[in-house]
Copies of this chain bind each other. A is one copy, B any other.
Amino acid sequence: MIVYERPVRFEDVDAAGIVFFGRFMNYAHEAMEHFFGGVAGGYVDLITRRKIGFPAVHVTCDFRSPLRYGDVVRIAVSVAKIGNTSSTLRYEFTRADNGASVALMEHVTVASDLVSLQKLALPDDVRAHLELHRH
């Protein structure tokens, strides 16, 4: 499990005054980029030099309590499943101040060649890092 924290930004809320539900995907992706910090070169090197990406094929999210401007969200990232080309990340969103549950998201991605968008076996270093944080 790797933990990532970030404040709710001024422009993350919507006309209902709470964080727009789609932003949770942005928050999760930030947490995933942070998670991949454990692979040499990180997510940036995967994308920009190795040309390996992890497009989403499936996402599920339960929203339990709203976030507002001023809140800080803590996202605990763990790995629920590891396949040959796919992996499932699990994001547990809580409020940093009191630990209250905010959301729970699962995110299945498939390792892909960014030029052809064909799927790839998970690279060894990525697989090893995923194994390390398996739920």
Identify the A interface with B (CB < 8 A).
9-11, 13-18, 20-26, 29-30, 33, 43-45, 47-48, 53, 55-63, 66, 68-70, 114, 117
Contact: B58 with A59, CB < 8 Å? no
Bound CA span A58–B117, Å? 29
Enumerate chain B residues within 8 angstroms of A9, measured Cβ to Cβ.
Answer: 26, 29-30, 33
- Known A25-B22, A70-B44; contact A16-B53, beta-carbon cutoff 8 A: yes
Bound CA span A21–B23, Å? 11
* Copies of this protein in the complex: 4
Contact: A47 with B16, CB < 8 Å? yes
- Residue from the list B56, B59, B69 in contact with A15, Cβ < 8 A: B69
A71 (CB) vs chain B CBs: closest residue: B44
Contact: A29 with B11, CB < 8 Å? yes
Bound CA span A104–B53, Å? 21
Contact: A62 with B55, CB < 8 Å? no
| Residue of A14, A43, A47, A117 with most partner-chain B CB within 10 A | A14
Bound CA span A67–B44, Å? 13
